[in-house]
Amino acid sequence: MGSKLIIILVIIFGVLAIAQLVRVNELTAKATKRKEEEIPESENKFNANMMLAFMISLYAGFIWLMLKYGHVGLGPAASVHGQEIDWLFNLNWIIVIAVFFLTNSLLFIFAWKYSRKPGVKAYYYAHDNKLEMVWTVIPAAVLSVIIILGLRTWNETTARAGAEYEDIEIFAYQFAWTARYSGMNNELGKFDYKLTTAENPYAIMTKANIDRSLSLMKVGEPGQSGIKMIEDKLNDRSIMLSSKERKALEVDLGRKERMSRMLSAMSITYADSLDEFANDDVILEDSLVLLKGQKYNLSFRSKDVIHSAYFPQFRMQMNTVPGMLTYFKFQPIYTTDEMKRMMDNSEFEYALLCNKICGGSHYRMKMSVKVLGPKEYLEWQKTKSTYDGTPWIEGDESKLLEHYESIANRIEEN
Amino acid sequence: MAAAAQEAIHEHDHHEESFVSKYIFSYDHKMIGKQFLLAAIFMGVVGMMLSVFFRIQLAWPGESSDLLNMFLGDRWAPEGILNQDMYLGLVTIHGTIMVFFVLTGGLSGTFSNVLIPLQIGARDMASGFINMMSFWLFCISSIIMLASLFVESGPAMSGWTVYPPLSALPQAVSGSGLGMTLWLISLTIFIASSLIGSLNYIATIVNLRTKGLKMTRMPLTIWAFLITAIVGVLSFPVLLSAALLLFMDRVMGTSFFLSDIIVGGEMLDNVGGSPILYQHLFWFLGHPEVYIVLLPALGISSEVISTNSRKPIFGYRAMIGSLLAIGFLSFIVWAHHMFVSGMDPFLGSVFVFTTLLIAIPSAVKVFNYLTTLWKGSIVFTPAMLFAIGLVSTFISGGVTGIILADSALDIQVHDTYFVVAHFHVVMGLSAIFGMFAGVYHWFPKMYGKMMNNRLGYAHFWTTIVSGYGVFLPMHFVGLGGTPRRYYDNSIFDTFNPSAGEMVLDLNIIITVFAIIGAFGQVFFFFNFFYSIFRGPKAPLNPWRSNTLEWTTPTILPGHGNWPGALPEVHRWPYDYSKPGAEEDFIPQTVPLQPGEEEH
Ligand code: HEM
Ligand SMILES: [Cu+2]
Ligand SMILES: [Cu+2]
């Protein structure tokens, strides 16, 4: 209440103050025969000087921001392509800042310097083809360099992943993330959104899941009406249905019939041997854990709307689009602990944030990400089990560790 | 002056006198221009208030504010704390209002209308009736957009770009219900308004130029309006088709943009659609749209800078050439908004190339402005101040475009506050500055009165200081990896609290400047309305300018613009300080002297 009153008072007084000023101004204008269309020398001088003053404060503000907040808390790029991007970013940033200072300086200094002076006439200068050529060609040349360097990095970053990349699928939905590792065979199980049920939230495709979905669709169960239940309801003369209810049921029925036809087709064409790809996948809901130095090929899919998987520290971002798979490959180079040390920040973590507006809780849609060294990674893997409930790690652990260490060492060597 | 002609005008005036036909359903381009201006100012105030509301949330997240409760009520700001869905609603409607209703309607609508007939020496627009329709459609669509703010389930909440599936599914966010339907209806009407308006501008410029006004003697304002209108006519229909397809997906069960979706526990049977298709359609308009907003502002500033430097605009033909180049290139860069949408990376490379090309004509324009100022005799009218401000923000915002256009770098900053800062500086500030420059410069022509200069200076300096104060720090929020359209940034606490603190510090600075900037506009509102009623009477040609509009009487007759015969044009409009001339300006109506070269 108090602040409301203050706001209203401030506005009223503000307007009154301006009105007073204008009144005074008007009276003096009348007394001195001042005309608005003729800007007096003193005012012109004032604005000219303000141009310089403004330029200086703009630069001071910018430099202060650069020093205090340049690259706020992002820290070094933690992936191979990220370092490439940072290098390029710095180069472009230098060009951008140079152009910013140069052209703004010319603007404000000209404005100040060439303000009207009594007796000095402007210089009639309508065009100069040579000059105009210069400032067409120079930007074109600089931009060519930017384009060439930029596209080189872009092509490397977006090139297809080779066989040595480990596949992980990131699944996005309002308002969380799930990761699915491809397991020891490095092959992700198939999926189809029509297989989504309460027990199969990620729509993983296996024989059992298809059968289960089909039966749910055809028969239904308490709380989820299948085709049969709807038909019974529509045909049961003892139930009174308004025409609106009847219509809604019919629409639902039509839709379920279409879905069940598609599921039946899926069930017929599905090869049972595909189950093994899904069965050794590992699903993680709480965090994404990565091995330092491993090359990853992430694939993204979405359950509902578009999200964007944004990993600021890896300089990585890709939208997740319903009905479509998207990809990003990368190679993390620092463990979480190394980053903590480098940034001198014990609370640091990697994060996966949502960066595409996706609904009310968009701002909370996050998954925590960890990068571990070989030993810790193996220890962690041993605590996880696969889709069909068997342990993730089978066979000779020491060999695996050796393999992981060679991967991590590749980074140290570079 | 031919008595008969005056007689005719008089008679013409007589049946125009009723209040309704003069002020409301007017066919007169000057009145329609003023109607657009007033409507845009009103929408601007609304848009600005919405932004102050969500800026309060960003600077002081979760703190109770009476102001929010007062305006948004218990439904959307219970106990003075902004609802997280409504945060998105405010952001969405703010963006929509500013881009379409203020900067498109306000700039093109106002200045194309007021200036085209006056600067080309025509009695009115090609069709007065269509012109009137254009305004009233604009008005209806504004009202519908504002009404959507009061819908129970909230206004559209999927950002001004309204990407499906979010915008198609009421189950995904409440604003995608009735609010979104109203948004689509409003925008459809807006597009109709814009299209018929643009066709009218084109027809007028092409057909109704007065004797002697060759294309190469047209003021740059007219060139800018012409190219803007052509760009609009070619791009808005594509948005219309996107809106219609989205409408059909929402109400008729089609699957243009939807596929494989489970939302709110419900499995949809839409398959085969592509959300990316919508983005292509949207940005095919969306990018040209940013130039639809900017080009008229550039035209206005060319005129104002030349007049007030008392020098010809430097490189007149290059200025036209760059307008044409920008207009053309703006159609082949749209997918730079989609580098990380999942689009084929090779396609991305093509758009990197075309996008960076557009920086070349932009650079040419900047250097030509600078050379126009060089060795000028600059008079700092309020219009001139804003025009110089425009050049500065066009530079400062344009340079960051170079980073965004580099797809490899865009991976990192796409959809962060860095982008928000970029387009607010280069489009928001520049276009608004152009609009203010236009108002201050042509106010004497529109209302026959002078505005107060000193209030104008105060307005300019508070606006540019707060404009940069808001958007310069915002670049650093973005460089810190802060996603846009977040209700608050508390998420940083879970992985990098010190970065979170810095972002919050910056957000407070930004919000304080935003509030100062909002109050700074009071200088303008007051000056504007006060001067309409009580300002000193304007002389015939207050800025000693060359263009034709200053050859009409101060208080313009209703229809017809010139009481006598139409003026005849003998030269280009930029003969300022021409050697050999007595005055430092030679109006376009003055014949070339024997032996005088044109330019
Ligand atoms: C040097 C010239 C420019 C270049 C190279 C450029 C480049 C870009 C790029 C690549 C983006 C997409 C960034 C992203 O979403 O990640 C972008 C965004 C944007 N630009 Fe520019 N730009 C330039 C000038 C302009 C101008 C002159 C305007 C307006 C008049 C403008 C308005 C916008 C807007 C409105 C957006 C953001 C739309 C949104 O996501 O909501 N840009 N710019
Ligand atoms: Cu999101
Ligand atoms: Cu664009």
B375: left (phi over 0), alpha (psi -120 to 50) or beta: left
Ligand 1 centroid vs B423 CA: distance in angstroms?
A: 6
What domains are defined for chain A?
Answer: 37-118+125-158 (1.10.287), 166-171+281-413 (2.60.40.420), 193-277 (no CATH)
Is there a contact between B377 and A122 if contact means CB atoms under 8 Å apart?
yes
CB atoms within 10 A of CB A156: 12
Q: How many Å apart are CA B471 and CA B232, to the nearest integer?
A: 28
Q: How many Å apart are CA B32 and CA B25, to the nearest integer?
A: 9
C-alpha dist (Å) from residue A91 to A87, A142, A153, A256, B231: 6, 12, 13, 57, 34
Ligand 1 lining (C-beta closer than 6 Å): B 161, 290-291, 293-294, 336-337, 355, 358-359, 362, 398, 401-402, 404-405, 410, 414, 419, 422-423, 426-427
Ligand 1 centroid vs A321 CA: distance in angstroms?
A: 23
Nearest to A335 by CA among A407, A256, A402, A386: A407
pLDDT at B25: 77
B590: left (phi over 0), alpha (psi -120 to 50) or beta: beta
Ligand 1 centroid vs A84 CA: distance in angstroms?
A: 23
Ligand 2 centroid vs B17 CA: distance in angstroms?
A: 56
Q: Which residues of A touch B278 (CB under 8 A)?
A: none
Q: Which residues of A touch B392 (CB under 8 A)?
A: 104, 107-108
What is the distance of C-alpha B435 from the center of its chain? 8
Which member of A22, A316, A345 has the closest CB to residue B452?
A22
Tokens found for residue B5: 């002609």
Atom 12 of ligand 1, nearest CA residue: B337
What dotted CATH number matches B32-258? 1.20.210.10
Q: Which residues of A touch B484 (CB under 8 A)?
A: 355, 357
* pLDDT cut 90: percent of chain B above it: 80
**Atom number in ligand 1 closest to CA B99:** 35
Q: Which residues of B touch A110 (CB under 8 A)?
A: 370, 373-374, 376
Each of the 414 residues of chain A gets a pLDDT tens digit; together they read 455 666 677 777 777 777 777 777 777 777 777 788 888 999 999 999 999 999 999 999 999 999 988 866 688 999 999 999 999 999 999 999 999 999 999 999 999 999 999 888 889 998 888 998 998 999 999 999 999 999 999 999 999 998 999 999 999 999 999 999 999 889 999 999 999 988 899 999 999 999 999 988 888 877 778 888 888 888 888 888 888 888 888 888 888 888 899 999 999 999 888 999 999 999 999 899 999 999 999 999 999 999 999 999 999 999 999 999 999 999 999 999 999 999 888 999 999 999 999 999 999 999 999 999 999 999 999 999 999 999 998 778 899 999 999 999 888 776
Which member of B364, B376, B461 has the closest CB to residue A132?
B364
Is there a contact between B496 and A345 if contact means CB atoms under 8 Å apart?
yes
CB pairs under 8 A between A and B: 418
Which member of B85, B450, B489 has the closest CB to residue A36?
B450
Strands A220-221 and A282-284: unpaired
Is there a contact between A48 and B378 if contact means CB atoms under 8 Å apart?
yes
Is there a contact between B260 and A193 if contact means CB atoms under 8 Å apart?
yes
Q: How many Å apart are CA A272 and CA A254, to the nearest integer?
A: 29
Answer whether B280 touches A (CB < 8 Å).
no
Q: How many Å apart are CA A20 and CA A12, to the nearest integer?
A: 12
Is there a contact between A174 and B263 if contact means CB atoms under 8 Å apart?
yes
Q: Are A368 and A350 in contact (CB under 8 A)?
A: yes
> What stretch(es) of chain B map to CATH 1.20.210.10?
32-258
**Single-letter residue type at A268:** I
C-alpha dist (Å) from residue B158 to B86, B88, B154, B257: 11, 7, 11, 15
Angle at B377 between CA B372 and CA B383, to 5 degrees: 75
* pLDDT cut 70: percent of chain B above it: 95
pLDDT at B524: 95
Ligand 1 centroid vs B422 CA: distance in angstroms?
A: 7
Nearest to B479 by CA among A373, A69, A15: A69
Ligand closest to CA B354: 1
Q: Are A284 and A386 in contact (CB under 8 A)?
A: no
- Smallest Cα distance from A398 to chain B, Å: 33
Is there a contact between A127 and B379 if contact means CB atoms under 8 Å apart?
no
Q: Are B118 and B561 in contact (CB under 8 A)?
A: yes
Nearest to B391 by CA among A26, A107, A193: A107
Ligand 1 centroid vs B490 CA: distance in angstroms?
A: 28
Residue B119 predicted with pLDDT over 90? yes
Is there a contact between B349 and A154 if contact means CB atoms under 8 Å apart?
yes
Q: Are A129 and B321 in contact (CB under 8 A)?
A: no
DSSP structural state of residue B425: I
